[in-house]
Each structure stands twice: as structure tokens, then as C-alpha cells.
Amino acid sequence: MPQSVQYLKFGEFFSGPGGLALGAILAESKNGERVLKIKHAWSNDYDPSSCETYKKNICKNEKNPQVICRDVRDLDIDTLSSIDIFAYGFPCNDFSVVGEQKGFNGKFGPLYSYGINVLNKFKPRVFVAENVGGIASANDGRVFIKILDDLARAGNGYKITAHLYKAEDYGVSQTRHRYIIVGIDQSIGVEFKVPKPTHKGNYVPVKVVLSNIPENAFNNEHAKVASQVVERLKHTKPGENAWTANLPAHLKLNVKTARMSQIYKRLHPDLPSYTITGSGGGGTHGYHYAEPRPLTNRERARIQSFPDDFEFVGSKEKVRKQIGMAVPPMLSNVVFKAILDTLNNVEYPYVEANYQIVPKTNLLLFEYEQNCRSKNHISETQRLGERGRDYCEEGRVGARI
């Protein structure tokens, strides 16, 4: 009998260049004659270059791709088509340990709620949300508790699995650690399990992924480098940075504030790369282990597990940012393959999630703190505080006074 292929429709917010999406559309699950795959329905991002990259690579076979380039706050979700899977890597600026961790009090923190709106309207079978590891500690951890609670109560209600994934455990040559939250509609009656790492303790060294890159590969232009930077890198051994290298006085950085370990850090050929970022500050571009120079964008893309035929659109700086902000497609594919297997009743090796979702304490009080701060009525928080704590101690998550 011929195989019966069912395509699940995929919608995405904050899509970037398409790291999550690439892993999704390459995933498939087979159970006898039944095959599950994923196809793009629509996506949204505010950055024009990212949208063009997404169209070129994720929607290359579509005549009129629904890639909507605008601020999500100006997007009318009533114009979108129904979907089976929703994904979003909501902006991490206010949750990253590199930043100030403003959480909900920052400009980007509340943007996760636009994904909640999609879940409530379309009630997809599955959602995937991705964010930095620092989200679990923002606002003393209460931000993450609040987000998980909102996600669980959206749509028809979702059974949630949250896990801090280490990309290097799944074959990505990079120490990139991200929370990925998977929710499955509770009416389906199945639970997502975290796929077992495939490379734990047997990591892919960066020299493997940076070998044999064709000179004419997409996005492989070398950047112009100041002579002083070249000289500094020549004095820096693989694995060292601007603070640990034995530098002559004239090459040392005069920095009195926090000293980030990635500043002018050269890769070590026998280890996975450190985290590739989209930041534009001096000394943060990633530096080759064998040559005294920054990495090319294709080298960064290789480290992020993008295939060589994935062409990024935009200036070198815009492409560098796209690559640094993306989810590694290899990690995305592992997660989406496990999602399809879960829906298709196919067993796979798994491990216990490392974030345990338990009755949350202080969630109710936290909601009132946020509301009262926005209204400058902190005394109201104090008045309701004891009663809020009573509700939380009883485990009545999401209860209302």
C-alpha cells in the first residue's frame, strides 16, 4: 500500500531567518503507512532581511509565501489561516544573562503574550516556544513560572514539557543552551518527552564543521580587520581570550567593567565553539583557531548547523545578526522529529525534562506586583500580599482573588 502523508500546517512568530522552521520542515515521522510531515503556512518577523532570507530558503517552492514583515504588535491575527503547529522564539533581550534581565519590565519581555493570542484563537495541536537559559532566573524565576502558566492555560489547555537543551549534546558544534517549551493540546492525551542526547560526551569539534568550506560558498566574505586586532589575535592562543592571553601592554584592553569571556576569544579546534551571538560589539564576532581573523558568516552558519545551500540575504552585519539570533536547525529538527513521533505514536529514546513544572509559589502575588507597578499602586500589592501568598501556598495556580 502507498504511504499516506499528512502535512501539519506550521505558523511562526519572531521567525528570524528560519532556523526553527528549517528543522521543522525537514522532520518526518513514519508509523507503518502513516507519515507525518510539516509545511509552512505563515510566518512573521519585523526585520526585512530576515524575512527575505526566510522566503528564499523556507518558502522557495511557494508562489505567494505568507511571510509577513511587520512588528507583531501591528499584526492582525484574524487575517492568518488556521494552523496545527505554532512556534515562536519570542525576543530574549530582557531575559538574557548577558543583558540586564529586566524581564516583564523591559521593552521585549511582554511580547510572549502575542503568541498566547495565537494559541487562544487557533488552538493548534502543538506549540514550541524557545528562549535563552536566563529566562528561568529573570525576576527571581517568577517570569518563567508566569509564562509557563499562561501557556498551559491557553487554547484548550496544553500539557507542557520545558527543558534546557544543550545544543552540543545533539551534534551541534557549539555550547548553546536554550529553553525549549513544547505544549501538546491536552485533549489529544499524549505527552512530549525530551529526546535523548545523541552526542553527550562525544561532542563535535569545531575543526570538523569548519573544514572544506568552498571559497565561493554563500556568505563567505572575509571582513576587513584592523592591524591591531590581527596582532592581538596572533598573541592569543586557541581557547584564550583578551583577558587570559599573555598580551603586550599596547594590545591589552582598557576595560574596567564586566569582562565578557568571549571578547577576542579564539575557538579551540578540538572543542565545540562557544555561543555564536548576533551582538555587534567589538571583539564579539568569533575568531578562527588557525588564522588571526574573525569568522566569516558562512563559518558562523556552519557552527549554527545551517547547510551550505542556505543563503542569507542582507549586508554582512545583518547576516551576522540573523545567524547569531537563530535556533540551530539541527537542534530544531531533533525536537520537531520527536513531536511528530509523539503525535504518530512512535516510541523514541528520551530523558526526563530538567525543568520540573510543579505547583508554583508566589505566582499570584507576582501578577499583582506587575499590575500594581504598572499603575503605581504598590500599596495595593502590599494590601493583597498575605492573601496572595495564601493562595500560592495552597498551590492554586492561576486562581483569582
| List of residues 6+ apart from 169 with CB closer than 8 A | 197, 198, 199, 200
Residue type, 55: K
Q: Do 47 and 22 form a contact (C-beta atoms < 8 A)?
A: no
- Give the model's confidence band at 370: pLDDT under 50 very low, under 70 low, under 90 confident, else very high: low
Higher-confidence residue of 141 and 214: namely: 214
The rounded percent of the chain whose pLDDT value lies above 70 is 83
Residues 31-44 have pLDDT tens digits of 999 999 999 999 99
Residue 320 has pLDDT above 90, yes or no: yes
Q: Report the mean per-residue pLDDT for the chain.
A: 87
**Residue 391 burial (CB count, 10 A):** 18
Count of alpha carbons within 13 angstroms of residue 109, beta-carbon side: 23
> 171-180, 276-285, 293-302, 362-371 — which is least confidently predicted?
362-371
Residue 387 has pLDDT above 60, yes or no: no
Count of alpha carbons within 13 angstroms of residue 306, beta-carbon side: 32
pLDDT at res. 378: 42
> 17-31, 318-332, 369-383 — which is least confidently predicted?
369-383
- SS3 assignment, position 44: strand
The rounded percent of the chain whose pLDDT value lies above 90 is 72
* Phi, psi (rounded to 5 degrees) for 154: -75, 165
Nearest to 395 by CA among 359, 366, 357, 364: 359
pLDDT at res. 102: 46
Domains detected in the chain: 4-201+329-357 (3.40.50.150), 360-401 (no CATH)
For residues 346-359, give the mean pLDDT. Answer: 90
**Residue 28 burial (CB count, 10 A):** 16
What is the 3-state composition of the chain as percent helix, strand, coil, each rounded to the nearest 5?
Answer: 35, 15, 45
Residues 138-192 have pLDDT tens digits of 778 888 898 999 999 999 999 999 999 999 999 999 999 999 999 999 999 999 9
For residues 125-141, give the mean pLDDT. Answer: 89
DSSP H helices in 77-226: 113-122, 142-153, 206-209
Nearest to 45 by CA among 322, 302, 401, 270: 322
Q: Do 154 and 147 form a contact (C-beta atoms < 8 A)?
A: no
Residue 369 has pLDDT above 80, yes or no: no
Angle at 366 between CA 361 and CA 370, to 5 degrees: 170
For residues 329-351, give the mean pLDDT. Answer: 98
Residue length, the chain? Answer: 401
- Give the model's confidence band at 331: pLDDT under 50 very low, under 70 low, under 90 confident, else very high: very high
Residues 265-278 have pLDDT tens digits of 999 999 999 999 98
pLDDT at res. 138: 79
Catalytic option among 69, 92, 372, 392: 92
Residue type, 377: H
- Give the model's confidence band at 363: pLDDT under 50 very low, under 70 low, under 90 confident, else very high: low
pLDDT at res. 372: 56
51 a catalytic residue: no
pLDDT at res. 5: 95
Angle at 77 between CA 74 and CA 79, to 5 degrees: 105
Q: Do 365 and 392 form a contact (C-beta atoms < 8 A)?
A: yes
Q: What is the pTM of this model?
A: 0.86
CA dihedral 62, 63, 65, 70 (to 10 degrees): 150
Residues 228-264 have pLDDT tens digits of 999 999 999 999 999 999 999 999 998 777 677 889 9
Residue 375 has pLDDT above 50, yes or no: yes
Residue 69 has pLDDT above 60, yes or no: yes
CA separation for the pair 355, 336 (Å, rounded): 19
**Which grid cell is 12?**
511562526
Higher-confidence residue of 396 and 132: namely: 132
